[in-house]
Structure 1
């Protein structure tokens, strides 16, 4: 007879995630601005060197929520456009039937603006990505593991979005190296990424 039933296991994992989010937020919030900029630049350099990035015709990025000290990928946006890649950004719309998420095409960072969610989004009239439109999707994280699993903010935004893009697209979990942990508490609905990228290393997910 199992020690815990499915409900208990889920509750334990959710409690562990909640506590880990609190800890990782505190650690990242303490990062000085100079270190944030330097680590972001190192991570972007590693991203540009990724064969998956070099081969991609299109990428999906995220604009950093500066109050949360997310990795700053704006230099990667510039590199992608300079290489002739199509660049998409996420959106979240609240409709009568609930939240609708996806990716929209942009021609420059200046098109991004506040739109009800915490992050900057593309214009409402921008072209929305279909399933095969995005080759490589960069995903923010509070913590990551070598398996490709990531700890987000708890809203399930990317767990909902990733299955709409990958496959055929590939996903890259993005975090600073101090956010890379040996393992993370996970549940069945948690969607792992294909790569893990930090300012110190690039890993192919083990999917163990």
Structure 2
């Protein structure tokens, strides 16, 4: 039996991931807004009940891309800020493509800056000290592998913060699948929170 070409395997993994990404986006777009709102509320409740979130003093969230039916964490931001937690949001440097986290004084004032999602102002203070980073995803598996939109921003950024920060992926439960293809540069998350369950990722070794 001939050895399988590693390069061919890599190409197959990328193609499988692209197909899953397309299918996941299409599926999420079929869910009625009312159902997504209910599921988002359950996800927020599960997140707020996590010990790591309850103990956190500084958390990174993301502002939902509403037209893409992302998990809506906006009420969670209000709740966290109400109890004194500093809430940061991702920001992309247009010159370098590097993602950082900045703390806006008013998240409602964030704007779309060319990449499709609302970002803090470049003048808002950057933080390098986070306890929890909440990560969006199109699909995840129980081992913490995730499929995003393909730009790789979180894969490049999470290693700068985690550990000590904990990374928590949030998805609707139909986005949890048995196995996500792993490609070069992929970074796993520490936990998965859906509207139905919390999955603590077990690390090998």
Whether TM-score is above 0.5 comes out as yes
Task: Name the counterpart of 2:98.
Answer: 100
Q: How does 1:123-142 map to 2 (within 5 A)?
A: 123-130=121-128, 133-142=129-138
CA distance in 1, matches of 2:189, 2:161: 11
Residues 28-58 of structure 1 show CA distances to partners (whole Å, capped at 9, x for unaligned) of 0011010010000010000000001001111
The unaligned stretches of length 5 or more in structure 2 are none
Task: Name the counterpart of 2:114.
Answer: 116
Deviation at 1:165?
A: 1.3
CA distance in 1, matches of 2:137, 2:123: 28
CA distance in 1, matches of 2:74, 2:67: 16
The unaligned stretches of length 5 or more in structure 1 are none
Distance change >3 Å, CA 10–CA 107, structure 1 → 2: same
How many pairs align? 204
Task: Name the counterpart of 1:79.
Answer: 79
CA contact (8 A) 2:98 2:153 kept: no
Task: Name the counterpart of 1:181.
Answer: 177
Deviation at 1:206?
A: 2.4
Residues 6-40 of structure 1 show CA distances to partners (whole Å, capped at 9, x for unaligned) of 21121010000010011101100011010010000
Q: Which runs of 4+ in 1 moved over 4 A?
A: none
Q: TM-score, normalised to structure 1's length?
A: 0.94
Task: Name the counterpart of 1:65.
Answer: 65
Q: TM-score, normalised to structure 2's length?
A: 0.95
Q: How does 1:17-36 map to 2 (within 5 A)?
A: 17-36=17-36
Q: How does 1:186-197 map to 2 (within 5 A)?
A: 186-197=182-193
